[in-house]
Amino acid sequence: MIATGPVQGGQAAQDRQEPRVLFLSTYPPTICGLASFTEALMGGLTAHRGTSLGMDVIGVAAYGDSPEVEGDSAIARVVPGAPGWVDIVAAVSVDYDILVIQHEYGIYGPDDGIALLDLLDVVAIPVVTTIHSVPIEPMPRQRVILESLVERSAVAVLISTAARRFLMDGYRVDPSRLTVIPHGAHVFAQPLVSPDPRPLVLTWGLLGPGKGIEWGILAMDRLRHLRPQPRYLVQGETHPAVLRREGEAYRNRLRALVVDNGLEDMVRIQGGYLSVPDLARVVSSANIVLLPYDSRDQVASGVLVEAIAAGKPVVATSFPHAVELLAGGAGRVVRHEDPDSIAEGLLSLLEDPQAAAAAAEAARQLTPVLAWETVAHTYDETFRTVAARDRPKRRRWRPA
């Protein structure tokens, strides 16, 4: 159940000042938000450092899946919860200065991924954990996992100030271990001029229940009177976990909703996971990005950050990350599960070019802070601080 490859980067960086960093995360060709985040962060660190030496990743495979991946660039793949996975990670990590864990519930095996705590019991180097979800009303086991992660990490990175506030207010954590580093974004070229006179509203990302696409479709029904009529493009693959569980049932329900409401000329639901160049092309051609998510406690959204960094006005439901990033005027915050409210938000930008231009300018003001290279620089400074502070405390790892 565990596949390993040669350790290449750790020893090679011995003579340089940069801390040697080992990432533990899902990783391409796995398709998920954490995999994309880790790949982009490592790319930003490579650009900042001028080299990829001294940075490697152990890929996390889903419980029950084979870790074998053709053409894999991860130095190892593990299945959390499978026999021996902890020993593999701990053994590989001794050639590095810091283990960086990307945390999301469910990534590290069953039972909310509680197997991750077994690793933290034995890993011999300091840990920096990026926390991607902070439930406002956690289940008891979720609370134990998150509090233990913070306690056993040298630094716990939150992607938004809202996430830090939720942790401080609802969990027993040491605030001195917490820091906020924004989710990074690719910075695209200038917007494309679309030959289609109809404005384009765009939602992209992995699809599944909870994305709220049905509310976006129903909102378009309220806008059919506009001339020219807006177009709504929903671009993205079905989330692999959803695909395993229920196939394309959610996508099929969305397509049926489009047909039932006679919106075939206004709404297009298109599959395919976009490469960065393709994403740049699609996002650059959009007039508005719509995030109609159902979640009330989402504290991190890569799509939101990418949209803002691209200088696009955003209409989003009032999940915490959207409320935080749109507070400066980069878009409109609307009510959850409310197509009338979503339509009003879209209409306020579609019918008022000056308002749309002002929102786009407010979004562009945030771009320098959100660029991956800027975010990577902040991570690297954190790594340096942790390595310098904790190196004398390192202990030798011994197999169980």
In a domain, 320, yes or no: yes
pLDDT value at position 399? 60
pLDDT value at position 8? 43
Residue 342, SS3? helix
In a domain, 195, yes or no: no
Average pLDDT, the chain: 88
User: 8: part of which helix (H) or strand (E)?
Assistant: none
The one-letter amino acid at 245: R
177 and 317 assigned to the same domain? no
18 and 145 assigned to the same domain? yes
19 and 158 assigned to the same domain? yes
361 and 389 assigned to the same domain? no
Model confidence pLDDT, tens digit, residues 202-246: 999 889 899 999 999 999 999 999 999 999 999 988 887 788 888
| Unique residue bearing structure tokens 């989003």 | 316
In a domain, 100, yes or no: yes
342 and 236 assigned to the same domain? yes
Query: What stretches in the chain show pLDDT beneath 70?
Result: 1-16, 62-72, 189-195, 391-400
148 and 240 assigned to the same domain? no
In a domain, 193, yes or no: no
In a domain, 399, yes or no: no
pLDDT value at position 59? 92
pLDDT value at position 189? 64
In a domain, 382, yes or no: yes
378 and 364 assigned to the same domain? no
pLDDT value at position 190? 60
| Unique residue bearing structure tokens 């940075």 | 55
174 and 209 assigned to the same domain? no
149 and 204 assigned to the same domain? no
Q: Could you tell me the pTM of the whole model?
A: 0.86
Q: Are 67 and 50 in contact (CB under 8 A)?
A: no
335 and 389 assigned to the same domain? no
| Unique residue bearing structure tokens 């992660």 | 149
CB atoms within 10 A of CB 357: 12
How many structural domains compose the chain? 2
pLDDT value at position 162? 92
357 and 376 assigned to the same domain? no
Residue 230, SS3? coil
pLDDT value at position 3? 44
E-strand stretches of 190-337: 200-204, 231-235, 267-270, 288-291, 314-317, 331-334
In a domain, 35, yes or no: yes
pLDDT value at position 194? 62
Q: Are 31 and 237 in contact (CB under 8 A)?
A: yes
Q: What is the CATH number of the domain that holds 144?
A: 3.40.50.2000
Q: Are 145 and 117 in contact (CB under 8 A)?
A: yes
267 and 154 assigned to the same domain? no
Domain enclosing residue 174, as ranges: 3-184+372-393
In a domain, 194, yes or no: no
